[in-house]
Amino acid sequence: MIKRGWWLLLLIIASLIAPAILSEFYLTVLCEALVMSLLALSFNLLFGYMGQLSFGQAAFYGLGGYAVAMLITKLQFNFWLSLLAGILLPSLIGLLVGYFCVRLRGIYFAILTLAFGQLIFFIVYKWHDFTGGDDGIQGVFPPGIMKNPIVYYYFILFIFLASAFILWRIIHSPFGQTIKSMRENTERTEFLGIHIARYQLITFVIAAAFAGLAGAIWVPFYRSVAPSYLMWIKSGEPVMAAILGGPNVFFGPILGMFIMTFFHAWVLGFTYFWPVIMGAMILTIIFLLPGGILGFAQEKLKERREKNEFGKGTTLKCF
């Protein structure tokens, strides 16, 4: 635990002094990486821990963003209450969508979340009078001193760390143990007295809430929101991040998202062929490092540990 703690502490210290070191451009990139990492963590609660692939997670991210943008620009709503609405609205829609999705598993679950995600996207996209359609909404300002990007960066950092901590606790709680068990063997878990659909629905709503929160804190920083935030392409980003970093390690999706976001920002400086490079990266990971970067690293560490512990780790399989 102490061994694991030191690099975490180092990262937190680094993120605290980051504004003093980074240029304004890369500070913006860092903000985006943190927000998108929160989205990836929410997604991975479903994918890595419950074992269901959601392909519509961006819809909740976008809904969180739209709730904040519309309340602030149209109703001059209080910033903090808007943020709260940015969590509540996606949770509520998540409850509704989840009610249907949790009846299905595997590829059917993925397709249904994709379908619902696109449905929500099209409603926002087409409903021009209400949502601004493809124009999106501009001029979403945070209040007072939070207009300063450095102050807002610390706000994002705080929300990110607090959310990550809460998700970490959930994953290691009895509830987390239950969804992991469902992933490992749904039938066995049901026959231990667990109402599978109910636990899937709760997880779905938690994931929607954190995705919404990510959208809600991003939009006032970026000052605008657009329908593309809800689109399936956006939903693909947390999927790739989780696969890149490792869905079975808590920090996997964060690492994946940081690599993607920073690499993206850097590569765009000299080429437009970003998707090609990203595709090549994903392919490399899938073939060379199954389990993602952190998953692979963890596996190697474990092997070494087991070799050191004499006699342990021998496996005997017989049928």
Partner 1 sequence: MFLKTEQITKDFGKLRAVNEVSLDIRKGDIHAIIGPNGAGKSTYFNLVTGYHQASAGKVLFKDQEITHLPAFKRCKLGITRSFQITSIYPKLTVYESVLMALLSHRKVTLKFFSSAKKFFKEEVWHILEDVGLAEQANVMGDSISHGDKKRLELAITLGTEPELLLLDEPTCGMSTEETETTMDLISKLSRERGITILFTEHDMSVVFGIAKRISVLHQGTLIADGSAQEVRASEEVQKVYLGGAA
User: If binding is defined by CB under 8 A, does position 210 make contact with partner 1?
Assistant: no
Residues 140-159 that bind partner 1 (CB under 8 A): none
Q: Exactly one of 126, 147, 195, 300 binds partner 1 (CB under 8 A); which one?
A: 195
Q: How far is the CB of 64 from partner 1 (least distance, A)?
A: 21
Q: What is the DSSP letter of 185?
A: -
Q: How far apart are CA 194 and CA 178, in angstroms?
A: 8
CA distances from 199 to 96, 202, 205, 238 (A): 15, 5, 10, 22
What is the Cα 287 distance to its own chain's centre?
Answer: 24
Q: How far apart are CA 82 and CA 186, in angstroms?
A: 38
Please answer whether residues 293 and 256 qualify as being in contact, where contact means their C-beta atoms are separated by less than 8 angstroms: yes
Q: Which one, 126 or 172, has the nearer CB to partner 1?
A: 172
CA distances from 124 to 19, 60, 118, 127, 132 (A): 35, 12, 10, 5, 8
User: If binding is defined by CB under 8 A, does position 185 make contact with partner 1?
Assistant: yes
Binding mask 39-78 for partner 1 (x = CB under 8 A): ----------------------------------------
Q: Which one, 152 or 199, has the nearer CB to partner 1?
A: 199
User: If binding is defined by CB under 8 A, does position 178 make contact with partner 1?
Assistant: yes
Number of residues that bind partner 1 (CB under 8 A): 30
User: If binding is defined by CB under 8 A, does position 95 make contact with partner 1?
Assistant: no
Q: Exactly one of 194, 265, 281, 297 binds partner 1 (CB under 8 A); which one?
A: 194
139 φ/ψ angles, rounded to the nearest 5 degrees: 75, 40
Of 148, 161, 147, whose CA–CA distance to 34 is shortest?
A: 161
Q: Which one, 188 or 300, has the nearer CB to partner 1?
A: 188
DSSP letters along 193-222, please? T--HHHHHHHHHHHHHHHHHHHHHHHHHHH
Of 3, 4, 30, whose CA–CA distance to 16 is shortest?
A: 30
Q: Which one, 111 or 194, has the nearer CB to partner 1?
A: 194
Residues 277-316 that bind partner 1 (CB under 8 A): 315-316
Q: Exactly one of 82, 189, 200, 261 binds partner 1 (CB under 8 A); which one?
A: 189
User: If binding is defined by CB under 8 A, does position 173 make contact with partner 1?
Assistant: yes
Q: What is the widest separation between alpha-carbon atoms in the chain?
A: 70
CA distances from 22 to 105, 107, 135 (A): 44, 42, 32
Q: Which one, 182 or 225, has the nearer CB to partner 1?
A: 182
* 121: CB partners within 8 A, 6+ apart: 59, 62, 227, 230, 231, 232
- Select from 108-116, 133-141, 180-188, 266-274 the region that touches partner 1 (CB under 8 A): 180-188
Q: How far is the CB of 279 from partner 1 (least distance, A)?
A: 29
Q: Exactly one of 15, 28, 181, 228 binds partner 1 (CB under 8 A); which one?
A: 181
Q: Which residue ranges make up the site for partner 1 (CB under 8 A)?
A: 166, 169-170, 172-178, 180-181, 184-185, 187-196, 199, 315-319
